[in-house]
A and B are shown apart, each in its own frame.
Chain A
Amino acid sequence: MSRRCGRLAVFSARSAVIYFDNAATSLLKPPTVGQAVLKAMETFGGAARGGHPAALNASRCLFQARKAVAELLGSAPERTVFTSNATESLNIAIGGLLQAEDHVITTALEHNSVLRPLYRLRAKGMGLSIIPADSEGNLDYNRFRQSLRPNTKAVVCTHASNVTGTLVDLECIASFCKEHQLLLLVDASQTAGVFPLHADELGIDVLCFTGHKALLGPQGTGGLCLRSGLSIPALKVGGSGIHSFSETHPSELPEALEAGTPNAHGIAGLLAGVEFIKKTGQETIRQRELALCRQFVEGVQAIAGVHVYGDQKRPYAPIVLLNVDGWDSGEVGDLLAHQYGICVRAGAHCAPLIHMALGTQERGAVRFSFSFLNTEAEIQAGIAALVEIAGGKR
């Protein structure tokens, strides 16, 4: 069955499902996002490629988006670089700043977008220490100090686990990095747009974000905010609209890291998403998402045969990971989709180390991740579906 409500219809006429997979991509967007993309496609030329009205439309949009994102994330427009997603941002930052002779500290909460670039460098000789997570997904912050080596250059960590929602204590890690003069690279894929982040005040050297989750933009948008004075070698070089006769790519930010025509159409949608967040209020959005999440957690924890992972006593992003006794996680996800019209992510979630810490590496788990635009009725429908599934099997 599929469930709809008036609120959903307002925000997305396309959605005929209950959507609880916002940690992958937010589906329910303000209508202004799609409208902005369409308008951009009808009116934009190439950003930074000319002075005619269509090119300037695109250039102005990029500049407005840089300002809006920088303001939201505590950076500056000239240090806010657009990429296609957080994975590209992390590859630029990790590949550009770290080398084989370095040692790096990361955590077991990381997504493969952090781990795989680090593993690739480890294969070339870089030292890598991984702070383990306990069976509830919590980190032992004392382990950072224990992992320190003379050649430690950076800490690369997420702000929140995409699997359990566990929030990382960035202030603690930033303080550690400052004390030991380490670079701090943060993956804010699950928190940018919802949780307060001020890259400059926290002392984050590179803050990587994606546009298509809580920032409510289209897929294919993302970026990184760099600390003032930090220089990263470009991953890509080529067209920039700048210094056409130079044999080398320009080194000035932000265009130094944006070779090729930028995705101005997508960034127009990202700008609309960020403007919606600012107008609505990040605090309002976060409190509502966490309230929906609490409602869901309380509901599912009361169901016999449902095991909820993570530590809900500590701060967490609006993500809930669970399994149902006797069920494969994929089967639960499939049943939710096809019998209840509920979209969740099941199986493994591109973050292998946290699955190993939780003991879900074989079975996977079912992830519910919520949006400000979900409703209490949808949460109840999700709980009711799990009651039926857990009861039906046992």
Chain B
Amino acid sequence: MERVKKPKLVITFPTTTAAMAMEALCDSALGRLIPVPGEIRAGCGLAWCAEPALESMLLQLMKENSISFEEKRIIQLYV
């Protein structure tokens, strides 16, 4: 099967605790935790990976639940 990269929203966190709080808040339809992609090289070792269309909704959700993040980027990933 040929693998194809797709644009993904990747959000990094200052702490693993923040990443785990994000996971506890979201169901699988809103994304999942992935190892931080090499091109970002920031934050804790975990990042939230989601469809780009969910960006504003996820950021609002994080704001409402006081989950801080370091960086958000759209990058091409195989996941």
Contact = CB atoms under 8 A, between A and B. Distances in A.
Nearest to A251: B14
Nearest to A61: B20
Contacts of B24: 60, 63
A242 B44 contact: yes
A56 B19 CA distance: 11
Residue with the highest number of chain B CB atoms closer than 10 Å, among A47, A63, A66: A63
A241 B44 contact: yes
Contact of A241 (B16, B21, B23, B41): B16
A77 B18 CA distance: 9
A243 B43 contact: yes
A63 B41 contact: no
B75 interface: no
Contact of A51 (B21, B41, B43, B46): B46
A139 B21 CA distance: 42
Q: Is the interface of B mostly helix, strand, loop or mixed?
A: mixed
B33 A51 contact: yes
Contacts of A255: 15-17, 44
A252 to B, nearest CB: 4
A244 B43 CA distance: 9
A51 B45 CA distance: 8
A241 B35 CA distance: 11
Interface residues of A, number: 24
A77 B34 contact: no
Given A48-B45, A50-B45, A241-B44, A63 B35 contact: no
Interface in A70-122: 77-78
Contacts of B17: 62-63, 66, 77-78, 254-255
Contacts of B14: 242, 250, 252
A49 interface: yes
Contacts of A384: none
Interface residues of B, number: 19
B58 interface: no
B42 interface: yes
A47 B16 CA distance: 9
B15 A245 contact: no
A252 B15 contact: yes
Contacts of A128: none
A78 B15 contact: yes
A253 B13 CA distance: 12
A164 interface: no
A244 B41 CA distance: 8
B45 A254 contact: no
B33 A56 contact: yes
B20 A63 contact: yes
Interface string B29-60: 00001110000011111100000000000000
7 contacts: A59-B19, A59-B20, A78-B21, A242-B14, A242-B44, A245-B41, A250-B14
Interface of B: 14-21, 23-24, 33-35, 41-46
Interface of A: 47-51, 56, 59-60, 62-63, 66, 77-78, 240-245, 250, 252-255
Given A47-B16, A63-B17, 9 more contacts: A48-B45, A51-B34, A59-B16, A60-B23, A60-B24, A63-B20, A242-B44, A245-B41, A255-B15
In the complex, the 9 A-B pairs of residues with the closest C-beta atoms, listed nearest first? A63-B20, A48-B16, A51-B35, A242-B44, A252-B14, A241-B45, A252-B15, A255-B15, A51-B34
